Structure 1
Amino acid sequence: MSKRVLVIFIILLVSSCVSKTGNKNTSPKTKDSPNVVFIAVDDLRPELGCYGNTIIKSPNIDNLASEGLVFTNHYVQVPTCGASRYSLMTGLRPKKTSHLLNNAFESEMGHKSDTIQPESFVHQFKKNGYYTVGIGKMSHSADGLVYGYEETPSTIKEMPNSWNEFLFNSGKWKTGWNAFFAYANGENRQSLKRQVKPYESGDVEDEGYPDGLTAELAISKLKELKNKNQPFFLGVGFFKPHLPFNAPKKYWNLYDRNDIPLAPNPFIPENVNKKSLQKSGEFNGYQLTDEKAGLSKPLSDAYSKKLTHAYYAAVSYVDAQIGKVISEIKALGLDENTIVVIWGDHGWHLGNDLVWGKHTLFDVALRSALIIKVPGKLSQEKKVNAIVESVDIYPTLMELCGISANYPLDGQSLVNTISNPDSLQNNVAYSYFNNGISMRANQFRLTKYWRTEEPTLELYDHDKDPWETKNIAKENPEIVKSLLPLLAKGNTGLYN
């Protein structure tokens, strides 16, 4: 798309939202202010038709993408669920080790009363007159409550001040965490003592797994929200394609396994210490797995294809649930005034680098899907190739909805990036994990680890090596030297 068309698009886009709310500091909002439906999808790589995957079946997400913006280089702050979502919700990069953990919400928000400074962008919407509803996994917990996988649900909320309502239907699985690790027969990973496979083709309808119930609940709530005399923010969190890769059989049947691709780099990258990777412990926790994964050798081609098939089926299943929600938005006539966001909380190694899981600072674990549709604008797919971060979503939504975020955020609004595609304003993304900081800037990924095992610096040139198969830091000291000051700007105090 030409720069001129993009500039016209963003002017129209902003005017459609801001003009309805008046001055950016106006509060409370009126019913004519834009609604927001934010769909969070667990472990969703940018493995979708709209991202160029010609095998995977994701027609509903692709259709939304055809009406909105597809961010091709979106990176999360942390490659683990709870911490990634914490940075998303706060608009802040990790500043202490607790921000890198799945219990970040519990430790930082769960026991705090309402404050002048919003705890999250959802809280910010609520403070500005929006009615806020959460369904499913929006923070870390499957149902928004603080408790362990095998514990009785508590009454402590992970985001206690953000939601007017928080809902979840755990169905036959009884609790949120049981539902998160659900099998079609009503059992779960915990009840079966981990004696389970990491995949299942269930002979059930969509509602035979929890995401189908979540879609039903979202549809029901949309009908109520349509009649409210105020704008709304609806967050819907789907579980799949998180492990276990369980989905109704009909979604498995969409694929011929012979067509399923293998990882293009099923080996440890050159000049990389194994400490930069991980041993697929989460995956191997499904103890009836056909084969154990590890860093000594790849899984067999046959099993790798089966697992990738299972992941694709889970993506197609969640795509169908997302399609139901989007169809209801249109059926209710809400699409003309509702911003829709689809966000993946991180990527996933599907055998890349001998890893089956996330929890690394490699590009494949940090890059995830981000699609934003703003109503009433150009109905053709627009690719935004600038490098952006999850922390940018908070200020972007505030600007689109005419709300002033009146305290410092680490992210930057993407509105200017969209209108000026050649701008370098947002052309850097920082991620944190495993005693390291990784930075994607233009064609390069530079990672620095604070550890004794060498090498502690890794450099990858994505123009020449998009799968990061060889660390070239040692032979390119000048490039490393030029990038290290920029990486240092991303050190929020985590490492010295």
Structure 2
Amino acid sequence: MIFIAFLSILSSFFSCAKQDIADTKMPKQQKPNVLFICVDDLRPELGCYGKTYIHSPNIDKLAATGAVFTNQYVQVPTCGASRYSLLTGMLPKTGGHLSNEACHNFISGKPETEEPETFIHQLKRNGYYTVGIGKISHYVDGLLYGYTEPVGTEYELPHSWDEMLLNPGKWVTGWNAFFGYADGGNRQSLNRQVKPYEMGNVGDLGYPDGLTAELAVDKLDELAKKEEPFFLAVGFFKPHLPFNAPKKYWDMYEESKLPLSPNPYIPENVNKAGLHSSGEFNGYKLGDEEATLEGPVSDEYARKLRHAYFACVSYTDAQIGKLLDGLDKLGLSENTVVVLWGDHGWHLGDQLVWGKHTIFERALRSAFIIRAPGKTEGRTISKVVSTVDIYPTMLDLCDVEMPHETDGKSIVPLLDNRVASWTEASYGYFRNGISLRTERYRLTKYFRNAKPTVELYDHIADPNETKNIAAEKPEIVKKLTPLWEKGNTGLYNK
């Protein structure tokens, strides 16, 4: 009996020891890491969006292993305000929410409260180590200072980051780098006596985004050694003006074969008040031609500008490839959510505009790709989604509780292909107007005296928005108006 009891104790001992060894070998279940990539002025003109003339192999590879959203719309077609909606999950409620200074005016300098300032702040509160590199909010290195001022010391998002970084290189300050040219000059120092494009005889590190990618890859190596999950946001400058990129990316394209805008004219039955005269673009004083609403620039110049923009896209694509390769080499890809988001679109001569700042399709629709662990790969999702949906989506993917209600909704059910119903409606705000985008239509109403104040576009019959059919289809306007009203936050009444 004693011998049997001894065997029983010995068996129990080895069983426990075996379990202890197993426990030490099994890593603790960890929340997913996040790599969030913001790209300035990136319209969805990429290989994965069906544009075969664009060289975007790295973004296309990401898309092939994730989900491409073909109808993602930002809320405001300007950098700072669009990013404010991204970070807070909220539609604009006042005129101040349409400004590039939205984060500065509504978040900066405020004490920390129970309500998080951004979704990044909420992740930080829930165990994430948060790092920002480049332009995530509006100020390009997260510090508040003017274009020609010394680098500031106050953070635009004071409670969101454990680290906020940028390597401005030879340009010395973030804003100089943002508008930088290959020789170290910038738009400000040269008093705008510059072209809106440059083909630089430099390598990737000859422009700021190459430095940003290098810094981010190094930071990934550090983050991989941490016990807590990380949120790494990387903000690339290009293809924002000036369209400057290394020569090797220009060489990927044959300019004479590049397609021109499918609609380089003001749409029928609209007022010019809904458009603009490309002031930001024309601010580059040595441009070959001036863009106006009186007629298109020459085909030759339009192709040169499109060539420059596409070269910038390919340059940024290469930097994104370095980040994705870094994840793979560190063995992080299997447990990292990767998001690629463009902060708005850009008119490349469409409707005679060279810029953003309209509530037409070209300015509001942007690139959006998600790759998440355990989700179906290689999917194209055509449902209409909004930038404000990203806040609840990120917390959902990271298994973090939503701290309060936002104007968005999680798109994880779309990623899982298990949504029974989905209201396809996205709202855009600018130029005294509110625009509703549904699966088929865009309905825009302006708060102004200039007529007409109502525009309707049928995206099946007229995907390039060449003709306002509101007067021809009053029954559709009437049918869509209640849904449009849900996006009327009253900002134009304040």
Which band: TM-score by shorter chain?
over 0.9
Match of 2:470 among 458, 473, 483: 473
2:381 aligned partner, one-letter code: V
Deviations 1:158-200 (A, max 9, x none): 1010000000000000000000000000000001000000000
Q: 1:428 to 1:338 in 2, by over 3 A?
A: same
Q: Distance in 1 between matches of 2:470 and 2:93?
A: 26
For 1:430 and 1:377, locate their aligned partners in 2 and report how far apart those are by CA, in whole Å.
27
1:245-394 equivalent positions in 2, closer than 5 A: 245-379=243-377, 381-394=378-391
Letter in 1 for 2:302: S
Give the deviation of 1:31 after TM superposition. 7.1
Residue 172 of structure 2 is matched in structure 1 by 174
Q: Which residue of the partner structure matches residue 13 of structure 1?
A: none
Q: Which amino acid in structure 2 is aligned with residue 133 of structure 1?
A: V
Which of 431, 437, 458 is the matching residue for 2:428? 431
CA distance in 2, matches of 1:327, 1:113: 39
Q: Is the 8 A contact 1:384 1:421 kept in 2?
A: no
* 1:60/1:323 contact within 8 Å kept: yes
Give the CA deviation at 1:420: 4.5
For residues 382-402 of structure 1, the C-alpha deviation after alignment (integer angstroms, 9 at most, x for no partner) is: 000000000001101111111
Find 1:143's aligned residue among 138, 141, 144: 141
Once residues 375 and 43 of structure 2 are traced to their aligned partners in structure 1, the CA distance between those partners, rounded to angstroms, is: 27
Alpha-carbon distance in structure 2 between the residues aligned to 1:189 and 1:32: 45
Q: How does 1:222-237 map to 2 (within 5 A)?
A: 222-237=220-235
Task: State the identity as a percent.
Answer: 63
Match of residue 54, structure 2, among 49, 53, 56: 56
Aligned to 2:392: 395
Could you say what secondary structure the match of 1:386 adopts? coil
Q: Is the 8 A contact 2:46 2:55 kept in 1?
A: yes
| 1:409 and 2:409 correspond | no
Report the residue type matching 1:180 in the other structure. F
Match of 2:20 in 1: none
TM-score, length-scaled by structure 2: 0.93
Partner residue of 2:452 out of 451, 455, 477: 455
- Aligned residue identity for 1:329: L
Determine the C-alpha separation between the residues in 2 that align with 1:156 and 1:225.
25
Residues 206-226 of structure 1, C-alpha deviations (whole Å, 9 max, x = no match): 000000000000001000000
Bigger radius of gyration, 1 or 2? 2
Match of 1:9 in 2: none
Give 1:191-210 correspondences, 5 Å limit. 191-210=189-208
Distance in 1 (CA, whole Å) between partners of 2:383 and 2:315 is 30
Give 1:295's aligned amino acid: L
Judge conservation of contact 2:265–2:296 (CA < 8 Å) in 1: yes
What is the deviation of 1:421? 7.3
For structure 1, which segment, 294-303 or 31-40, has the greater mean C-alpha deviation from structure 2 after superposition?
31-40
Q: Deviations over 1:361-391 (max 9, x none)?
A: 0001000000000135544x20000000000
C-alpha separation between the residues in 2 aligned to 1:224 and 1:31?
20
State the alpha-carbon separation in 2 of the partners of residues 426 and 218 from structure 1: 37
Give the number of aligned pairs: 466
What is the one-letter code of the residue matched to 1:415? V
Query: What are the Cα deviations for residues 110-139 of structure 1, in whole angstroms up to 9, with x where unaligned?
Result: 111211100001001001010000000000
The letter for the 1-side match of 2:344 is: H
Spell out, residue by residue over 1:26-84, the C-alpha distance to the aligned partner (whole angstroms, 9 max, x if none): xxxx7711000000000000010000001010000000000000000000000000000
Offset, 1:495? 2.5
Q: 2:152 aligns with which of 150, 154, 158?
A: 154
CA distance in 1, matches of 2:414, 2:439: 14
| Residue 444 of structure 1 pairs with residue 441 of structure 2 | yes
Structural RMSD (CA) = 1.1
Deviation at 1:350, TM superposition (A): 0.3
CA gap of 1:426–1:212, structure 2 versus 1, over 3 A, is: farther
Match of 1:244?
A: 242
- Describe the SS at the equivalent of 1:432: strand
C-alpha deviation, 1:272, in angstroms: 0.5
Structure 2: gaps (5+ residues): 1-27
C-alpha contact (below 8 Å) 1:55/1:259 kept by paired residues: no
Name which of structure 1's ranges 80-89 and 151-160 shifts more when overlaid on structure 2. 151-160
* TM-score of the superposed pair, with normalisation by structure 1: 0.93
